[in-house]
């Protein structure tokens, strides 16, 4: 039996995790190495994994003032080989693990006192089924857990949801504190069996959604808020068998007063409890951050950066910089075809139409339905506001002259509409 050895990341040459000269052993860690990335307050250390690292790490320690950032992107398919796997993980108080890739990443038994940040991903799997410790989990336009595999969150843990994110919890493991970004649509999915949820929920707004996992067998029939004496609210969810689930520590965004609620079954099969002011098409759509790999939203059919385009979640503002539909059009082309979203049209292949009439249905509505208030419904001469069900805009097949607005103007319009913050 081989005794595991510890290999320390020194970063003496660069931040490249895959450069042997950055390790104290002078070689890349093997499957019997325990990896340690630790710095000091005066000399923090950062390691970046930019390409797939297929060696399974038996133990990963991110110590104080250490950061591991994973950006490797081989495929956005959940069935693809993970670009990084750790059987065990610990993050110290000032340590940080940042996962910024749509490719699969697997993390095993863990203790997190520092920070785990997941950006633009639905393919991070917690193989132990739980996150332990008193650390912080940041989800930015991401989904953690799934309908079939919720994550047990430690009662001392803080979870921050932003940019359109969803966390699937399991049992009583709903975390200590959940902070919603009130400006974007975010969701917490429960599979509780008739109990009191002690988690503190902060910054709850019209955009904040709670849901009951459809696979749990619990069917909510109604939900309502009631005011507590300390200024917080209690959410009471009644189920089909006359039981209740109670969330008694809900603190709302400043200026928001909870109103009536709806219970709606969404495309993932979960029962969403949402403010009745939200559009029904938003509530019944995919959960925020839900990344389903289909021909609709996979740029030309494979890989996170296939076809010269950026991975489909990422975007940049402005007409001259790449966006997540990169490779599907040119800002300098003022004709109706090719459009920046060309190829996302009919869900079965590349549309030859300048309108690409189903783009909104196939991509926009799935991923950016929370931006409904920013969706401008165009005529030939006048822009005006419309809901996510708008049908008569130049790129939805309802206008006979899509060239009325040059390609570049439409490009900038999409960029503004689909900003993660839903401005």
Half-sphere exposure at residue 319, Cβ-oriented, CA atoms within 13 angstroms: 14
Q: Where are the domains of the chain?
A: 299-417
pLDDT (average), residues 272-290: 91
Q: pLDDT per residue over 39-80, tens digit each? A: 999 999 999 999 999 999 999 999 999 999 999 998 778 889
In this structure, what token pair is assigned to residue 104?
């699969």
Q: State residue 291's pLDDT score.
A: 57
Q: pLDDT per residue over 125-135, tens digit each? A: 999 999 999 99
The neighbour count for residue 96, using CB atoms within 10 Å, is: 22
In this structure, what token pair is assigned to residue 124?
């991070």
User: Are residues 92 and 63 in contact, defined by beta-carbon separation less than 8 angstroms?
Assistant: yes
User: Are residues 317 and 419 in contact, defined by beta-carbon separation less than 8 angstroms?
Assistant: yes
pLDDT (average), residues 28-36: 89
pLDDT of 85 higher than 50: yes
Q: State residue 4's pLDDT score.
A: 67
Q: pLDDT per residue over 161-179, tens digit each? A: 999 999 999 999 999 999 9
| Confidence class for position 402, pLDDT limits 50, 70, 90 | very low
Q: pLDDT per residue over 293-339, tens digit each? A: 432 233 333 334 433 333 333 333 333 333 333 333 333 333 333 33
Q: State residue 290's pLDDT score.
A: 77
In this structure, what token pair is assigned to residue 382?
């006048």
Q: State residue 127's pLDDT score.
A: 97
Q: pLDDT per residue over 107-154, tens digit each? A: 999 999 999 999 999 999 999 999 999 999 999 999 999 999 999 999
Give the integer Cα–Cα distance in Å for 152 and 127: 11
pLDDT of 350 higher than 80: no
Phi, psi of 39 (to 5 degrees): -120, -160
Terminal CA-to-CA distance of the chain, rounded, Å?
57
């Amino acid at each position: 039996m081989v005794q595991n050895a510890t290999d320390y990341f020194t970063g003496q040459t660069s931040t490249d995790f895959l450069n042997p000269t950055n390790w104290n052993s002078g070689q890349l860690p093997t499957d019997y190495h325990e990896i340690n990335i630790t710095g000091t307050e005066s000399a923090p250390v950062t390691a970046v994994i930019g390409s797939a690292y297929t060696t399974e790490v038996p133990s990963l320690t991110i110590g104080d003032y250490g950061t591991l950032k994973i950006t490797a992107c081989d495929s956005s398919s959940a069935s693809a080989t993970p670009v990084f796997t750790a059987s065990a993980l610990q993050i110290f108080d000032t340590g940080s693990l940042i996962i910024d890739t749509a490719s699969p990443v697997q993390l095993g038994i863990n203790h997190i006192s520092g920070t785990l940040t997941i950006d633009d991903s639905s393919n991070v799997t917690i193989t132990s089924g739980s996150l332990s410790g008193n650390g912080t989990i940041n989800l930015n336009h991401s989904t953690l857990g799934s309908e079939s595999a919720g994550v047990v969150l430690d009662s001392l843990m803080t979870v921050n949801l932003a940019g359109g994110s969803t966390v699937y919890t399991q049992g009583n493991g709903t975390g200590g504190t959940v902070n919603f970004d009130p400006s974007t649509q975010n969701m917490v999915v429960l599979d509780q069996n008739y109990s009191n949820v002690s988690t503190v929920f902060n910054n709850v707004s019209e955009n904040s959604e709670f849901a009951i996992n459809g696979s749990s067998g619990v069917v909510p029939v109604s939900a309502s808020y009631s005011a507590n004496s300390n200024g917080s609210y209690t959410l009471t969810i009644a189920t089909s068998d006359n039981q209740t689930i109670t969330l008694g520590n809900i603190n709302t965004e400043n200026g928001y007063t909870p109103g009536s609620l709806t219970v709606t079954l969404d495309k993932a099969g979960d029962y969403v409890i949402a403010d009745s002011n939200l559009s029904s098409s938003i509530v019944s759509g995919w959960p925020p951050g839900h990344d389903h790999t289909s021909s609709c939203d996979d740029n030309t059919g494979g890989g996170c950066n296939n076809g010269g385009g950026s991975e489909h979640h990422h975007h940049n503002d402005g007409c001259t910089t790449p966006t997540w539909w990169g490779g599907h059009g040119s800002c300098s082309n003022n004709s109706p075809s090719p459009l920046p979203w060309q190829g996302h049209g009919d869900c079965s292949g590349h549309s030859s139409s300048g309108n690409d009439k189903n783009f909104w249905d196939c991509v926009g509505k799935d991923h950016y339905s929370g931006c409904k208030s920013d969706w401008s419904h165009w005529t030939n001469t006048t822009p005006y506001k419309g809901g996510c069900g708008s049908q008569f805009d130049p790129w939805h097949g309802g206008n006979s002259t899509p060239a009325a607005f040059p390609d570049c103007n439409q490009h900038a319009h999409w960029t503004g509409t689909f900003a993660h913050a839903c401005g």
